[in-house]
């Protein structure tokens, strides 16, 4: 599938998390996978499709220099760095606000998903153009239990209706901005970008796929991808 340049698309890559579940002192995003730092993979895949000024990498303020050096060492084009906030949703909002005014479609991607493909991004962008949003997702294959805090099973939903949301998550700009303004104004927490839009009353649409798009969460995930 040929993927054409996306001149009206802005990309926010979120790399400001603490990575506490990773279990090592070093930021997991600098761990090397297949010859380059983890966070560089999605930039190398997505950035060539977009205008340089339309790509922002959201990082913590104290890691600015380390990210800049890693980008240079990986021979990637210069990427604009934006400082994140105390939460993921604040970091995403900072990234969206840093995009040029002419951007009509916003893609949000977690830097910890290194193997998302250009084709997946293009499919999510196409959905956003048509429906207002396009959320990468895959069918759930495990049986899911809904339980109370003591472990008592309350119900078992039909897994045929369940989808695991991933990134990229792509939206018309006015949709995602409305979603984030809503959650901030009402003191709500959204665990992903789509939920922020859903809480604001927007219908979101999934792009179900089967390509490899794992999220690197634990140290052994790096070993499995190397």
The pLDDT of 153-167, averaged and rounded, is: 97
pLDDT, tens digit, 9 for 90 and up, residues 72-126: 999 898 899 999 999 999 999 999 999 999 999 999 999 999 999 999 999 999 9
- Predicted confidence (pLDDT) at residue 21 exceeds the cutoff of 60: no
Residue 192 pLDDT: 97
Residue 2 pLDDT: 67
Residue 225 pLDDT: 63
Q: How far is CA 120 from CA 26, 38, 117, in A?
A: 30, 19, 5
pTM of the model: 0.93
Which has more confidence, 2 or 6? 6
Residue 218 pLDDT grade (very low, low, confident, very high; cuts 50, 70, 90)? confident
Domains annotated for the chain, with CATH where assigned, are 9-225 (3.90.550.10)
CA 150 to chain CA mean position, Å: 32
Residue 5 pLDDT grade (very low, low, confident, very high; cuts 50, 70, 90)? confident
Residue 217 pLDDT grade (very low, low, confident, very high; cuts 50, 70, 90)? confident
**Pick from 83, 109, 85: nearest CA to 171:** 109
CA-CA distance, 34 to 190, in Å (whole number)?
A: 33
- Predicted confidence (pLDDT) at residue 20 exceeds the cutoff of 90: no
- Predicted confidence (pLDDT) at residue 146 exceeds the cutoff of 90: yes
Bond before 70 cis per omega within 30 degrees: no
- Measured in Å, how far apart are the chain's first and last C-alpha atoms? 26
Residue 22 pLDDT grade (very low, low, confident, very high; cuts 50, 70, 90)? very low
CB 92 within 8 A of CB 73: no
The pLDDT of 209-218, averaged and rounded, is: 89
Least confident of 157-166, 193-202, 211-220: 211-220
Place of tokens 């018309």: 172
């Amino acid at each position: 599938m040929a993927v054409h340049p996306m001149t009206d698309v802005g990309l926010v890559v979120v790399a400001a998390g603490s990575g506490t579940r990773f279990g090592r002192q070093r930021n997991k995003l600098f761990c090397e996978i297949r010859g380059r730092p983890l966070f560089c993979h999605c930039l190398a895949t997505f950035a060539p499709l977009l205008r340089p000024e339309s790509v922002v990498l959201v990082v913590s303020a104290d890691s600015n220099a380390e990210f800049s050096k890693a980008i240079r060492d990986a021979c990637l084009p210069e990427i604009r760095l934006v400082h994140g906030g105390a939460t993921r949703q604040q970091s995403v909002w900072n990234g969206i606000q840093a995009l040029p005014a002419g951007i009509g479609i916003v893609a949000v991607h977690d830097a910890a998903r290194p193997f998302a493909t250009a084709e997946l991004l293009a499919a999510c962008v196409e959905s956003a153009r048509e429906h207002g949003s396009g959320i990468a997702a895959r069918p759930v294959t495990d049986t899911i239990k809904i339980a109370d805090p003591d472990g008592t099973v309350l119900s078992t939903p039909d897994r045929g209706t369940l989808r695991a949301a991933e990134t990229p998550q792509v939206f018309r700009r006015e949709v995602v901005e409305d979603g984030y303004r809503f959650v901030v104004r009402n003191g709500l927490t959204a665990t992903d970008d789509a939920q922020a839009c859903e809480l604001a009353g927007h219908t979101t649409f999934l792009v179900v796929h089967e390509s490899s798009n794992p999220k690197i969460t634990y140290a052994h995930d790096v070993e499995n991808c190397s």
